[in-house]
């Protein structure tokens, strides 16, 4: 969804037409703008002048946290599955947990605070949408593995 910045106020502008996503109308009398989208013009949401706002990328540490969690859990599951005790149960448990990891994988969303603040990029659970990653379901999946696999972090509880 495209955004327009007016000082410290932000507008979002949405249309279902994929060929019509430019959120500002450039001034017909203005200087030619660089290729791609025009960056300045009249906001199509509020009709004031504004600049197209690019939402900054996801914070590096958020992405790293998520990657560390997924890596740890994947290793813990496969380590558990390779042990010999009760292989049928452990095998099915491991398959189920790997499937849950897929369904509840991370996805990037852009959210607005509803008060005109800057839109922000966040990492959410693909399935639970409103939850952060790892979500409650995935934390529950991970919890029993922490006894057998070192490296579990307190913030994943």
Binding mask 9-28 for Zn ion (x = CB under 5 A): --x-----------------
SS3 of the chain: CCEEEECCEEEECCCCCCCCCCCEECCCCCCCCCCCCCCEEEECCCCCEEEEECCCCCCHHHHHHHHHHHHHHHHHHHHHHCCCCCHHHHHHHHHHHHHHHHHCCEEEEEECCCCCCCCEEEEEECCCCCCECCCHHHHHHHHHHHHCCCCCCHHHC
Task: State which of residues 24, 100, 135, 141 lies at the interface with Zn ion (CB under 5 A).
Answer: 135
Least distance (Å) between residue 129 CB and Zn ion = 8
- Tell me: does residue 5 bind Zn ion (CB under 5 A): no
Interface with Zn ion, residue 104, by CB under 5 A: yes
Whichever of 12 and 90 has its CB closer to Zn ion, that residue is 12
Q: Which residues bind Zn ion (CB under 5 A)?
A: 4, 11, 43, 45-46, 104, 125, 127-128, 135, 137
């Amino acid at each position: 969804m495209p955004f327009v910045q007016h000082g410290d106020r932000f507008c979002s502008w949405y249309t279902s037409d994929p060929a019509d996503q430019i959120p500002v109308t450039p001034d017909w009398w203005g200087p030619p703008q660089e290729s791609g989208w025009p960056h300045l013009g009249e906001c199509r949401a509020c009709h004031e002048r504004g600049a197209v706002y690019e939402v900054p990328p996801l914070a590096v540490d958020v992405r790293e946290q998520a990657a560390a969690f997924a890596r740890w859990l994947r290793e813990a599951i496969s380590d558990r599955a390779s042990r010999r005790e009760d292989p049928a149960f452990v095998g099915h448990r491991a398959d189920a947990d790997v499937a849950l990891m897929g369904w509840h994988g991370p996805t990037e969303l852009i959210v607005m605070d509803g008060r005109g603040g800057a839109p922000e990029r966040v990492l959410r659970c693909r399935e639970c949408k409103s939850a952060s990653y790892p979500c409650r379901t995935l934390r529950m999946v991970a919890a029993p593995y922490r006894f057998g696999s070192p490296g579990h972090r307190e913030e994943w509880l």
